[in-house]
Amino acid sequence: MITDTPHEANGNGLLDGDRTVPPSSNLRTVLAADLYAMVPELKEDIQLQPRAGETVSFLLARLRSSTTPEEAVTMAAYAFQPRISVWWAHECIATMREHLTPIDHQLLELISAWAHDPSDANRRDIYDIALQAPSKTPGVWLGLATGASGGGRRDEPINLSTPRAVNAGVLSCLARGGLQQRSINLARFITLAQTLVGD
């Protein structure tokens, strides 16, 4: 469950004061085929292809009930606007705090602050910590995703998109929970994504 959704004045799909902005504005586009055309690497990362006229919402549901429901996580990482994608991943990863490292906890706190104040200075601070981390843990992946959400920097040592980093962060966190909890955690993550996608 989203604990404290960021507020936005420009109606980008978060909350705007006391008014809820329609969930569809959380997405890059409503139609799944349009998303595949917009982001060609989706064809590399998801085996299931969209049907004619299928919405992202319906494809997400179809992926959830497929033999590879993890692909629903991948779809969500790509389908959301970059800032929403990072926030969704933050909320997923935060439900598994007991499996995270101290640097993950530090980055989650900073990412939460950035979600409410998406300044370039905050983004760069997060990115610098993630780049210097000794290993790519879930929070570090999310820090890299946050850094990439602003278009990257000239001195950026890696070429990584926000969706791919979000996907890696959420799936690596899922792997830390153990096999017995995997389906429960996966269902929780996808349900949150579906809530943000809307109908």
pLDDT (tens digit per residue) in 49-75: 999 999 999 999 999 999 999 999 999
User: Confidence band (pLDDT; 50, 70, 90) for 13?
Assistant: very low
129 or 18, greater pLDDT: 129
119 or 21, greater pLDDT: 119
User: Confidence band (pLDDT; 50, 70, 90) for 198?
Assistant: confident
- Cα angle value 125/170/85 (rounded, 5°): 65
pTM given for the model: 0.86
Between the alpha carbon of residue 83 and those of residues 37, 51, 162, 183, the distances in Å are 21, 27, 9, 26
pLDDT above 80 for 141: yes
Rounded (10°) CA dihedral 109, 112, 116, 120: 80
pLDDT in the model for residue 65: 97
- Rounded Cα gap, residues 171 and 122, in angstroms: 25
pLDDT above 70 for 84: yes
Between the alpha carbon of residue 106 and those of residues 49, 142, 149, 161, 177, the distances in Å are 37, 12, 19, 22, 20
- pLDDT tens sequence across 150-190: 865 545 556 689 999 999 999 999 999 988 999 999 999 99
DSSP lists the bridge partners of residue 7 as 15
pLDDT above 90 for 26: yes
User: 86 with 75: CB under 8 angstroms?
Assistant: no
- Rounded Cα gap, residues 113 and 199, in angstroms: 29
Beta strands in the chain (DSSP E): 15-16, 19-20
